[in-house]
Chains A and B, each alone.
Chain A
Amino acid sequence: MSSNRDILSKLISDHKSKWHIEAAQREANKEWLDKSFKIAIKILRELRLQSISQKELSERMEVSPQYINKVIKGKENLSLETISKFEDILGISLISIPSFESSMELDIDFAMTFSKVDRNKSNSIVKSKIPEVSFCNYSDKHSIDTEKTG
């Protein structure tokens, strides 16, 4: 009498599952796929809210419906140009860049008032907001690493 495993072996087909390939791609591209997925959710919710069909969006974007479908599945590596176009057409913000303007303003304010306030006190305030900032002269302040100040 054949065992379960013997019978099972005969029943297994030659068909290859696509899981291995797609799982490997999801793992290799996980950083940008995560961002693409979050953008897709925002687009999908906005399409529902504004009652816009995928077809209508593809016409307004001047791209194919297949491309829109890939975007809303969260599987497209979007360019900044495309993201901006989506933002413009849907009237929403999809991504934001950590602002450096506020720290620059703080820096300029500081430069203007530096001579008027207590040096130690102002140093402690600025250090908490802008690490590694140089107070030598104004031009140096424009080379601040924006990532550290965001």
Chain B
Amino acid sequence: MEIVRIFGDNLLSIKYETSEDDEFYKAFSNWTDAEFLENFFEKHKSDLQSGHWGSITVEKAVLKTSKVALRLEKTFRKLEKAKETGRIKILQSLFVPLNDTHIHNEEFSKSKVRRSWIRLYGLRIDASSYIITGGTIKLTATMNEREHTNIELKKLNEVKGFLLSQGICDIEGVTAEIDN
């Protein structure tokens, strides 16, 4: 795997050997692709109507994803142009630690005031550097419930293992949340 620079040393992304593009690029590319989204929501139609987000049609879910993604992308574009000190501050508020409760505890996820429709996952290397490992659309309360969120967990652990093997320590799993 490769580590690709998104901006400065603050935001980086993983590019897996099996893919032509890095995960940060892929997340925004998929979230703004009507064909990808229509297929995704058709596949997860029962989750869409399960009540975690209320009951929502495939059409509305596709539109909502693109709208939220473009808003998140706008934030990153502003950060790219911002000075490093301001940029780091916003990155620190954007990415929250991903702990066991995000993964297993349904009640915790349900009780969270801030719930995000789309999620970027990554690792915090130090107070100012983040590596994106992937992104997905979160339709259930916890991460370990569905294949697509489980894949993100596996990727996160794989990259963490790689970084540890390179001598990087004190790595923390994070997720970027955006209000819907």
Contacts and interface: CB of A to CB of B under 8 A. Distances in A.
A16 B3 CA distance: 10
B24 A19 contact: yes
B168 A7 contact: yes
B3 A8 contact: yes
Contacts of A69: 35
Interface string A64-93: 000001001111000000000000000000
B82 interface: no
A5 B12 CA distance: 12
Which of A8, A30, A38: most chain B CB closer than 10 A? Answer: A8
A50 interface: no
B152 to A, nearest CB: 18
Contacts of B126: 3-5
Interface residues of A, number: 34
Contact of A4 (B32, B62, B168): B168
Contact of A17 (B4, B32, B34): B4
Contacts of A20: 80
Interface in B1-19: 2-6, 9, 12-13, 15
Interface string A1-23: 01111011101110111111011
Given A4-B125, A8-B129, A19-B6, A26 B22 contact: no
Contacts of B168: 4, 7-8
Contacts of B25: 17-19, 22
Contacts of A57: none
Interface in A95-120: none
Interface string B30-44: 001111101000100
Interface of A: 2-5, 7-9, 11-13, 15-20, 22-24, 26-27, 30, 37-38, 40-41, 44-45, 48, 69, 72-75
